Amino acid sequence: MSKERFTPKLIERYYQYINSLFRSQLITTLNNQNRLLESPKAGDIAIEKVLGYFDSNNLMSHILADNEFMKIEKREKELKGNCKLGTVFCIDGRISALHQFGRTVNSWEIAGSLMPFEEKDGRKYLTSRRLIGAMKDTASEKEGRELLEIVTAHTSTHDKKHRCGRITLGVNRGEFEGDVDEVALTEAEYRREAFENTYNGILINQGKKPQDQVAITAMVDTDTMGFILNFGQDNELSTTNVLMKDGLVEIIDGAIGQEVGKFGSMRDLFTNPKSFIEYSNRVEKITRYLMTKEIDNSSSGLSFIREVQTYIDTYYEKLTPSQKQALLFTFCRTIANQYVTGLAGDEEIHHPYLHHNEDYIVISPNGKPFGRYDINRQSFASTPQNREEMLTHTKIKLSILDGNRKKDDRGPDVILISTPINERIANQASGTTFHAAEDAAIAYYNRLINDAEVADRIKTGRLIIVPIIIDEDSGKMLGVRDYSDYVLPNK
């Protein structure tokens, strides 16, 4: 796909294509939902709002399939190394997965990063069947790749009111005790233990040697998109501090500034899909420079790369060389993102992900939610373990939308029930795999419309629910589904 594809004229044609393809499916689904719940008919504002989400999502999925971007992704994979790298982060819309972690990292979103676990004989184990299944697939890979999972908490270094909403809610209602950031890290540590015990148990069951360490914890700063190791400790290491001290900004500018621009050169462009390939190219070049050049900018006498490597060797000594390379890549890539976007600067921080600005809610029982690669919009996306957890997450998201509603926002709130599936299977719309995936979506849809609070929002025209299927790899929108024949809502 060439750059010409993203000219304004072709983008407009693409938008028209999306409208014609999905409009009739969407109208049918919403009309039947209105009939079932005796709610007001969805108007043009609601239709256009949802079609806009489809358009924005699919535009990014096509950009990510562009040959030029795939070359960049391949180079990033080389920098990351052979280790399989995963992250767990909060559903908070201010955390943009593509900017924060990149395309080469497998990400799992859940409120507060609170992956469900259980204790057996004093040891913690994950309980999510989908995640355990994915870990079994990783352990079964013939090439013997190691796994590093980074379980993140998130904070706001400039405004404590902007810290994790899920953890804050838990503290306020007595579920947790203590400072929000401290609780978030403690809970992340519990999940780190659970990841380690679960994955090593899988390796042992497959007759393989367990890893000395499977997971670590880290803090994400939503203000600066910074990445912080050992947050709040004497040995804290922050990408923001590393970038802004000892002249690293000036060193990058002097060495490769002609290729990647000055600090903050894409501050106003990094959330524009048409600029994403250029943004990605600059981030990869800076990451490579940081990981491969002996940059002398440290008062310790060590080069930048040696200083960070020494830190990782000292405080993460159980990690293998492959895991350490993956962690180094994450650290350096974060610095590169902050340099390009200028988000580490000392001036007043302002960027599109600074405040809650979520447009819609996504429920994805089978993982890989719709909109996960959409850099132009914020969304609440989560992969709940069961229908009750889904309902809890949904009500938290709806309450945040209520509290942060834009003055010019019109039309109902939108919940998308997203089913990721192989595009070839989806196009056939038949077979055991397809029907099993849809059965789960139907069950979640049924649970939602039978909840009194959710149903009231629908009946009063404040909410619509749209079941969709997407390609599991690219995230491309494949179709709107109508489940009205499979549910019997309470009246």
Q: What is the pLDDT of residues 164-185, one digit of tens each?
A: 878 888 898 899 999 999 999 9
pLDDT at 317: 96
pLDDT at 149: 97
CA–CA separation, 393 and 388 (whole Å):
9
Q: For residue 93, is pLDDT > 60? A: yes
Token output for 413: 């709130």
Q: For residue 362, is pLDDT > 70? A: yes
- Hey, is 373 helix, strand or coil? coil
Q: What is the pLDDT of residues 95-139, one digit of tens each?
A: 778 888 988 888 888 878 888 899 999 999 999 888 898 899 889
pLDDT at 365: 83
| Average pLDDT over every residue of 303-315 | 89
CA–CA separation, 198 and 408 (whole Å):
47
Q: For residue 74, is pLDDT > 50? A: yes
Q: For residue 298, is pLDDT > 60? A: no
Cβ atoms of residues 328 and 309 within 8 Å: yes
pLDDT at 491: 47
Token output for 37: 């719940």
pLDDT at 17: 65
Looking at residue 303, what DSSP letter applies?
Answer: -
Long-range contacts of 137-142 (CB under 8 A, 24+ apart): 138/84, 138/199, 139/199, 139/202, 139/203, 139/206, 139/208, 140/206, 141/84
CATH architecture designation of domain 3-52+356-486: 2-Layer Sandwich (3.30)
pLDDT at 182: 95
Give the distance from CA 79 to its chain's centroid: 21
> What does each C-alpha distance from 69 to 1, 65, 114, 277, 391 come to in angstroms?
10, 7, 33, 6, 37
- Hey, is 410 helix, strand or coil? coil
Domain boundaries in the chain? 3-52+356-486, 67-341
CA dihedral for 98, 109, 408, 413, sign (positive or negative):
positive
% of the chain surpassing 90 pLDDT: 43
Q: What is the pLDDT of residues 19-33, one digit of tens each?
A: 677 888 999 999 988
Q: What is the pLDDT of residues 392-439, one digit of tens each?
A: 888 888 887 887 766 666 679 999 999 988 887 776 666 677 777 788
Tally Cβ neighbours within 10 Å of residue 241: 13
> DSSP assignment of 431-479, as one string?
SHHHHHHHHHHHHHHHHHHTSHHHHHHHHTTSEEEEEEEEETTT--EEE
Entry pTM: 0.85
